[in-house]
Amino acid sequence: MHIHILGICGSFMGGLALIARAADVTLKEGRPLIMLVRETPLHTGHLKCMLALAEMGAVILPPMPAFYNRPKDLDDIVNHTVARVLDRLNLPQTLVAEWQGTTRRVSTGDPGD
């Protein structure tokens, strides 16, 4: 289900919508609220709203595709985003391996190495 960020922000600030109420209670109880914001381009209203939510404790986690893990298909891209959310919630996941960083090259001492 797609819910527009400004709709949530407006409802959240005014407490009108059920999903906004759920977000409010989540923050009030100190539970994680993760917002996967996909609107682009972002205008000042979006940014102010996301800043307000972040200041209240929400995590803004745009579902941006990562390519450092060399996805082979669309499922790899989707699984990466879902895995990031699950990791953020401290939930176990087996969708993607934990990023170990890149292997550092060992210098041979040659110029330009």
Say if residue 71's pLDDT is above 90.
yes
Q: How far apart are CA 86 and CA 22, in angstroms?
A: 19
Say if residue 99's pLDDT is above 90.
no
Beta-bridged to residue 60, according to DSSP, are 35
Angle ∠(82,86,87) on CA atoms, nearest 5: 115
Per-residue confidence (pLDDT) for residue 107, from 0 to 100: 64
Average predicted confidence (pLDDT) for the chain: 82
Per-residue confidence (pLDDT) for residue 102, from 0 to 100: 67
Which tokens sit at 108? 């041979």
pLDDT tens, position by position, 45-59: 889 989 999 999 999
Does 24 or 100 have the greater pLDDT score? 24
The whole-number average pLDDT for the span 4-13 is: 58
Say if residue 15's pLDDT is above 60.
no
The reported pTM is: 0.69
The whole-number average pLDDT for the span 13-29 is: 78
The whole-number average pLDDT for the span 22-43 is: 90
Using CA of residue 64, residue 70, residue 73, residue 79, what is the dihedral sign? negative
